[in-house]
């Protein structure tokens, strides 16, 4: 313990930092707008107080793109690179990337991370050219968290604005606020206080799903949001074009009665997951009984997403199908990841 700061020494820790781009790395180009430009090394060098932690950082410039341009191939490569670094004995991983897709990338990484070491994703809402840029503070908090024994066995977490969020719950909930990351179901796992992660709760029902063999299949998963007056036009030919479908239904998992038959027909051919478009709470199972209600749709073969929001449900379904898993595994995984396994 350092007598002056009161912060636990982490100088024996070694972390790998992967830079993927995003606002945290952006500077202005000729047009006056910002684009990814800074290397991961430059990001780390610009953080006040980081060198003083004594934590050894092995920095890798992995990608330099906006969050919206990342794809499944990038994430598969990143997951392999993380495994390699963990095999080499690093104590934790930090990833910097665009905030637009963190809720999806962090969850995908969480589904394959079955080791105890912390994997922490962060970024910035205010780019380095702006007063009050939040990248340095977020990166320092992420490093502090990834180097902490407290953050072991949490899976992948998102550290942002001194909050620690489970990858399975976190959503980008505001287009510009520095406090954009929120976990509507259950709140953050904890906070970074005076440089130390302080955990108030732990993730339950963490789900990891291995890829069968080494093969990653290319699959296409649709995500459709049910809207007022919906005719279900989007279901036409869906089972021929898609490997799986996630429906973001009204409320606790509802669609108009006129859409229910077509949806059930698609569900008889490909996995169809029923989620809620509300942004928080669980799909129900046995409360409403009208045509197009949750109980009707589940009895006709749709799979409940439980507490998983539509974006995370799509990531889970894609990962399961790309990994070659059958219907029984898909159902069991959603039951667990959706928080519906009776304890």
List, by residue number, the catalytic residues: 23
User: Which residue, 98 or 190, has its beta carbon nearer to ligand ASP?
Assistant: 98
The DSSP bridge pattern shows strands 190-193 and 163-166 to be antiparallel
Q: Which is nearer to ligand ASP, 63 or 206 (CB)?
A: 63
Residue 98 CB, nearest approach to ligand ASP (Å): 2
CA distance 47 to 137: 7
Between CA 36 and CA 24 the distance in angstroms is: 8
Instruction: Determine the residue with CB nearest ligand ASP.
Output: 98
CB 159, min distance to ligand ASP, A: 14
- Cβ 31 to ligand ASP, closest distance in Å? 15
Partners of 198 in the beta sheet? 191
Between 34 and 56, name the residue whose CB sits nearer to ligand ASP: 34
Burial class from Cβ neighbours inside 10 Å (0-12, 13-18, 19+) for residue 205 reads middle
- Cβ-contact 52, 96 below 8 angstroms: no
Closer to ligand ASP by Cβ: residue 123 or 339? 123
Q: What is the CA radius of gyration of the chain?
A: 21
Q: Is 166 helix (H, G, I), strand (E, B) or coil?
A: strand
Of 19, 67, 256, 292, the one binding ligand ASP by CB under 6 A: 67
Could you tell me the smallest distance in angstroms from the CB atom of residue 284 to ligand ASP?
34
Q: Which is nearer to ligand ASP, 101 or 304 (CB)?
A: 101
Interface size with ligand ASP, residues (CB under 6 A): 11
CB of 96 to ligand ASP, least distance (A): 9
Q: What angle do CA 148, 149, 153 make, to 5 degrees?
A: 115
Identify residues 84-143 at the interface with ligand ASP (CB under 6 A): 98-100, 123-125
Using the rule CB under 6 A, which residue among 66, 118, 195, 222 binds ligand ASP? 66
What is the token pair recorded at 8? Answer: 């636990």
Rounded Cα distance, 276 and 21, in Å: 31
**What is the binding site for ligand ASP (CB under 6 A)?**
22-23, 66-68, 98-100, 123-125
């Amino acid at each position: 313990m350092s007598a002056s700061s009161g912060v636990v020494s982490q100088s024996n820790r070694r972390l790998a930092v992967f830079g993927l781009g995003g606002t945290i790395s952006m500077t202005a180009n000729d047009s006056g707008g910002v684009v990814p430009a800074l290397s991961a090394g430059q990001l780390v060098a610009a953080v006040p107080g980081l060198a003083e932690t004594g934590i050894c950082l092995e920095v890798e410039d992995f990608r330099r793109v906006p969050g919206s341009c990342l794809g499944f191939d990038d994430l598969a490569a990143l997951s392999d690179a993380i495994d390699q670094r963990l095999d080499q004995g690093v104590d934790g991983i930090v990833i910097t990337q665009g905030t637009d897709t963190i809720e999806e990338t962090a969850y995908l990484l969480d589904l394959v991370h079955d080791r105890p070491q912390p994997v922490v994703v962060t970024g910035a809402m205010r780019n380095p050219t702006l007063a009050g840029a939040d990248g340095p503070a977020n990166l320092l908090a992420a490093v502090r968290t990834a180097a902490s024994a407290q953050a072991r066995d949490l899976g992948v977490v998102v550290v942002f604005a001194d909050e620690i969020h489970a990858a399975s719950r976190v959503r980008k909930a505001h287009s510009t606020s520095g406090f954009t990351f929120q976990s509507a179901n259950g709140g953050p796992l904890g906070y970074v206080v005076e440089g130390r992660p302080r955990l108030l709760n732990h993730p339950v029902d963490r789900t990891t799903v291995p890829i069968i063999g080494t093969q990653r299949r290319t699959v296409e998963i649709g995500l459709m949001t049910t809207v007022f007056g919906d005719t279900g036009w989007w279901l036409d030919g869906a089972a021929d074009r898609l490997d799986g479908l996630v429906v973001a239904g009204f409320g606790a998992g509802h669609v108009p009665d006129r859409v229910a038959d077509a949806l059930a027909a698609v569900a008889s051919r490909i996995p169809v997951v029923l989620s809620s478009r509300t942004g928080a709470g669980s799909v129900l199972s046995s409360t409403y009984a009208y045509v197009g209600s949750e109980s009707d749709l589940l009895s006709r073969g749709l799979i409940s997403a439980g507490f998983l929001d539509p974006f995370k449900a799509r990531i889970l379904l894609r990962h399961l199908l790309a990994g070659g898993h059958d219907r029984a595994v898909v159902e069991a995984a959603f039951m667990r990841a959706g928080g519906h396994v009776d304890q």
